[in-house]
Structure 1
Amino acid sequence: MDAFTEHLQFKPKLEQKGVDTRITLDIVRLAQRRVYTAAILVAGDRDLAEPVRVARDEGCPVFLAVPEGGGLAPELRQLVDEVVHISKLGLEDLFEIS
């Protein structure tokens, strides 16, 4: 699990550089090493389509949690196993933000 969580430091800033790249690398590398059996992404970016494709090719189902009002790229929607829409309150509860 340490391999999965090492890049998950929450930074409450308006700008985070390199986050998509780190997420992409984690999705692909960890799927190839069979570190996880399923991925849950809170995202909707088209940039994540290719890593999602690789993870699924490696046998890892990918579920997408999209915040209400958030964008969802059609390319990404077609690749994931399931999409769940979550409310802002649901996100706050999930991450224990008050």
Structure 2
Amino acid sequence: MTERVAIFMDGSNLYHALEENCGRMDLEFQEFINALTAGRYLHRAYYYNILQDPERRGHAFQEQGKFLATLYNTPYLEVRLGTSKYRGDMLVEKGIDIMIATDILLFAWRDLYDSAILVSGDGDFAYALQAVKNFGKHTEVVSFAGNLSYELSQTADVLTLLEKDFFKGLWVSDRNARKSSNESNIRNNRRRKRTVTPIPKQTAPRVENGRDSSKQYSPGPIFLREEDPLLHE
């Protein structure tokens, strides 16, 4: 029986981990999901984050809208947005951890997956993972080593420590480069001249030894029937 997996991505944790360890955040999520699934059956992937404040962080809100539009168009990826509040000038997440933990537990109880893949290093999820293990489910944690809590590392059945090389081919710019290369190959193929095999010319019959070899091309004697009008001219 094919193993069923569900992926739970802590968006804020992943964003800051990529920024810190890779210096970039333009992750191609479809390819990332494929890499984590590794040929298994994907129930669904879930991405969690807060919705930016359009009044106090207008530019961030617009940029997030563009980013979320790409996520909404990714097959089998659900986007779940929580709220936020300010403590002074600091924006604080509200309810994201509870949303993730609740979905991990609820989907295990509904038997929607065999293995839960958590993309986060936050130790607050350790108890939820232990609970689904008690349901008989397997747990996988995906995180950079520097962003991983000890509690979470001890709870996971499988631990995938991310490194910069893991993301080769998983960036949006890599996808655009592949697309550009494919389009270039198509254009080059269209420019290529088709090779046409020339048809050999037919040579006229030659006269050999005083005899016309064209006789071999003669259709032979012509026979007329009695009723043919040519016989009665």
Q: TM-score range by the shorter chain?
A: 0.7 to 0.9
Q: Does the residue aligned with 1:35 lie in a helix, a strand or coil? A: coil
Q: Which residue does the alignment assign to 2:153?
A: 77
Q: How many residues align?
A: 92
Q: Which residue does the alignment assign to 2:25?
A: none
The residue type paired with residue 160 of structure 2 is V
Q: Which residue does the alignment assign to 1:26?
A: 103
Q: Which residue does the alignment assign to 2:163?
A: 87
Q: Does the residue aligned with 2:146 lie in a helix, a strand or coil? A: coil
Unaligned runs of 5+ in 2: 1-42, 49-77, 82-90, 174-233
The residue type paired with residue 154 of structure 2 is Q
Q: TM-score, normalised by structure 2?
A: 0.34
Q: Which has the higher contact order (CA 8 A, sep 6+)?
A: 1
Unaligned runs of 5+ in 1: none
Q: TM-score, normalised by structure 1?
A: 0.73
C-alpha distance in 2, partners of 1:10/1:57? 26
Q: Which residue does the alignment assign to 1:49?
A: 126
Which one has a larger percent strand, Structure 1 or Structure 2? 2
Is the contact made by 1:27 and 1:55 (CA closer than 8 Å) also made in structure 2? Answer: yes
C-alpha distance in 2, partners of 1:67/1:92? 18
The residue type paired with residue 61 of structure 1 is H
Give the % identical residues: 29
TM-superposed deviation, 1:87: 2.9
The residue type paired with residue 62 of structure 1 is T
Is the contact made by 1:42 and 1:67 (CA closer than 8 Å) also made in structure 2? Answer: no
Change (3 A) 1:52 1:92: farther
Q: Which residue does the alignment assign to 2:79?
A: 9
